[in-house]
Amino acid sequence: MSDDEKKKLIVKEIESWRRTKLLPEQYCDFLQNLYLDDLANRPKSFAGEAVRKIGQATSKQWLLVFGIFALICLVVFYFSAFPLPLQIGLVAVASAGLTAGGVRWREKLPYRCFLLLGSGMLLMIGGGAAILQLHGWTTGAGPLLLLIVCALSWIVCGVALRFGMMQWCGWMAVVVLYAWLLARQISDPSWIQVQAFWLPAAFLFFWLSWFVSVKIRSTGTVLFATALVLWFMPEVYSALYGVDSQWIQIEIVAKIAIAGICLYKWKKQWMEWVA
Per domain, the residue ranges of the chain are 164-275
The single-letter DSSP state of residue 41 is: G
pLDDT tens-digit map of 118-164: 888 898 988 888 888 888 887 778 888 888 999 999 999 888 888 88
- At 54, the pLDDT band (50, 70, 90 cuts) reads low
Predicted confidence band of residue 245 (pLDDT cuts 50, 70, 90): low
Computed over its alpha carbons, how large is the radius of gyration of the chain?
A: 26
pLDDT at 230: 93
Asked if residues 191 and 139 have their Cβ atoms less than 8 Å apart, the reply is: no
List CB contacts of 20: < 8 A, sequence separation 6 or more.
none
More confident residue, 40 or 166: 166
Burial 186-209 (b: 16+ CB within 10 A, else e): eeebeeeebbebbeebbeebbebb
Q: How far is CA 89 from the centre of its chain?
A: 23
Which pLDDT band holds residue 42 (cuts at 50, 70, 90)?
A: low
pLDDT at 45 over 60: no
Report the range of poorest mean pLDDT among 56-70, 229-243, 246-260. Answer: 56-70
Mean pLDDT, range 42-52, rounded to an integer: 52
The model's pLDDT over 176-233, given as tens digits with 9 standing for 90+, comes to 999 988 888 888 888 888 889 999 999 999 888 888 877 777 788 888 889 999 999 9
Report pLDDT for 31. 75
Rounded alpha-carbon distances, angstroms, from residue 219 to 121, 233, 267:
18, 21, 19
The DSSP secondary structure of 204-245, one letter per residue, reads HHHHHHHHHHTT-HHHHHHHHHHHHHHHHHHHHHHHHHTSSG
